[in-house]
Amino acid sequence: MSQDLSRRKMVIYIAGTAFCAPLELYAQSVSLRPRSRPSSAIPSEIDRYVKHAELTGEVGVSAINLKSGNVIYGRNQNQSFAPASVLKVFTALYALEILGPSFRYSTQILADGPIKNGQLIGNLYLVGSGDPMLNTDHLFVLAKEVKAAGIRSVTGDLLYTGQNFPRISQIDTLQPVQAGYNPSVSGLNLNFNRIYFEWTKSTANTKLRLDARGSKVFPTTNTIKIFPVRDQSPIYGYTETADKEIWTVANESLNSKGGVWLPVRKPERYCADIFSNLLGSFGINVGHKSLVSKLPILYPIASYDSIPMDKMLAHMLRYSINLTAESIGLTATQKSGGDATSLASSASRMQLWAQQEFSVDTANFVDHSGLGDKSRITPSDLSSFLHKLFREKPEFLSLLRKIKPRDSSGKINASSELRIRAKTGTLNFVSSLAGYVIDGANAPFAFTVMSQDLNRRTAAQNNNLKVTPKGSKRWNLRSRRLQHQILNTLSKKEFQR
């Protein structure tokens, strides 16, 4: 069989989304570890781009020819970088390998007593399994199914549990308190464990509202409150009581109207409260809402199954959802028999798997999403991982996002023939892009481009006030522009060895 990597064969690689056996194109054709070549000197053109970017910190690059296995370019390729959300590529494969593409989470409504004349004699149970994509619309359907099961009233309470899934109050403790991308993780998640904060402001008064909005329903919660305050710094404050989460917001920081998603720290309670309200909209009232740890013998009333794992991963990689990454990483670790009591212990299990399966010896993972900036990997190891992944599991390419090519000024280049599948990663003063140029170049290649200024990042974290600190936006924009300048340069014929 010819080993030529033609455009037609590349199209065949990525056309389907089904998970099939690896193709034979690379069998025996390249070594397991990409080979560096003496001719891989740093081209002056890339040097000029790096210098012109005026980025503080470091830039690391590694690129590997997918056909020959040769390293076609390296710059600081053996230096450790924070991968940011590029880490989600490892998490996605980890979940696929352990859970399988057809795995689904299930959220169940159960009862511990009989239904007589429309009345449930006993308690209703809301039981989660860790579904990170459960939303208000799904709960609305479950409430509707409870009514369809013949229940008009409940004599007991609404009991809820995420079963043995770990409860983690936030992914990264160094993030600003109001960062909606840094929610809690539990066995019952809702709306990515966020609540929508909406306000209208006039000279007379300020109206604040919190809701768990879906596409058609906008239920409010009794477990989370927000109040305007004067002269508060930072803008948002957060405290907890025994039965409530309490937010404060600096009144002078609010414009005439707006809205933002805030993180939820007690998601199981939040989910149960919203479900109770939705049941009430169907005329079904329950008593108290209580968290339980053990379940008695129960009878099924209704259930909701998530989308299959392969589709969930494609969504996660496209939108870079941190909660999804952490939930599926913890689930995979639990199923593998590892320690999933914390994100760090579960990430350590994933790190060991990556080192054993892909020889990424420099990997150091502290979570599954890349939100924590203490994770590390070298550009060389990351590109080697991508090279082996493509060779052994080319179908994985269909999960990666299509990246639009950009010109040297950073503008989208509609006339470019480059076809890029990759994962982006962004933190303040950290930017990564890793994946594949699969068409339009002289020869397809796997690549990693990473930049970081950890000193400036640490200084910004010490303030811990703003989601986007001063200087970060400009720095990250320049990093992203540099990434495409480097890809355009590496796609030229003279670099395809």
Select the more confidently predicted residue: 174 or 346: 346
Flag whether 88 is in a domain: no
19 and 156 together in one domain: no
Nearest to 434 by CA among 426, 446, 416, 442: 446
Q: Same domain, yes or no, for 255 and 153?
A: yes
Same domain, 50 and 194: no
Q: Are residues 51 and 121 in the same domain?
A: no
* pLDDT tens-digit series, residues 19-64: 333 333 333 334 445 555 434 444 689 999 999 999 999 999 999 9
- Whether 86 is covered by a domain: the verdict is no
28-37, 95-104, 202-211: which has the highest mean pLDDT? Answer: 95-104
Phi and psi at residue 408, to the nearest 5°: -65, -15
Residue 466 has pLDDT above 70, yes or no: no
Q: Determine the Cα–Cα distance for residues 91 and 317; give it in Å rounded to an integer.
A: 10
Q: How far apart, in whole angstroms, are the C-alpha atoms of residue 214 and residue 475?
A: 36
Cα separation, 403 vs 435, in Å, equals 10
Q: What is the 3-state secondary structure (H, E, C) of 65-132?
A: ECCCCEEEEEECCCCCECCHHHHHHHHHHHHHHHHCCCCCCEEEEEECCCEECCEECCCEEEECCCCC
pLDDT at 142: 98
- Tell whether 364 is covered by a domain: no
- Say what the pLDDT of residue 346 is: 98
Judge whether 269 and 131 are in contact, CB under 8 Å.
no
DSSP 429: T
Task: Output the pLDDT for position 135.
Answer: 98
**326 lies in a domain?**
no
Please state which of the ranges 20-34, 243-257, 315-329, 480-494 shows the lowest mean pLDDT. 20-34
What pTM does this model have?
A: 0.90
Domain that holds residue 55: 7-81+378-495
CATH number, domain with residue 240: 3.50.80.20
Closest CA to 10 of 27, 28, 23: 23
If asked whether residues 21 and 164 sit together in one domain, one would say: no
pLDDT at 492: 85
Q: Structurally, how many domains does the chain consist of?
A: 2
Tell me, yes or no, whether 186 and 302 share the same domain. Answer: yes
DSSP line for 310-365: HHHHHHHHHHT-HHHHHHHHHHHHHHHT---SSHHHHHHHHHHHHHHHH--TT-B-
Q: Which of 257, 276, 306 is the last residue of a domain?
A: 306
Residue 167, pLDDT > 90, answer yes
Establish if 453 belongs to a structural domain.
Answer: yes
Mean pLDDT across 392-419:
95
Contact 204, 269 (CB under 8 A): no
Instruction: Looking at the structure, tell me whether residues 37 and 124 fall in a common domain.
Output: no
CA–CA separation, 363 and 159 (whole Å)? 42
pLDDT > 90 in the chain, percent: 84
Same domain for 267 and 129? yes
* Residue after which a domain boundary falls, among 264, 282, 306: 306
Residues 113 and 26 in one domain: no
Residues 119 and 244 placed together within one structural domain of the fold: yes
Residue 461: pLDDT band (50, 70, 90) is: confident
In a domain, 409, yes or no: yes
Asked if residue 234 has pLDDT above 60, the reply is yes
Report if residue 1 sits inside a domain: no
Answer yes or no: is pLDDT of 494 > 80. no
Q: Which of 281, 306, 331 is the last residue of a domain?
A: 306
| Within a domain: 90 | no
- What confidence score (pLDDT) does residue 29 get? 37
224, 196 contact by CB (below 8 A)? no
Q: Are 288 and 419 part of one and the same domain? A: no
Same domain membership, residue 491 and residue 388: yes
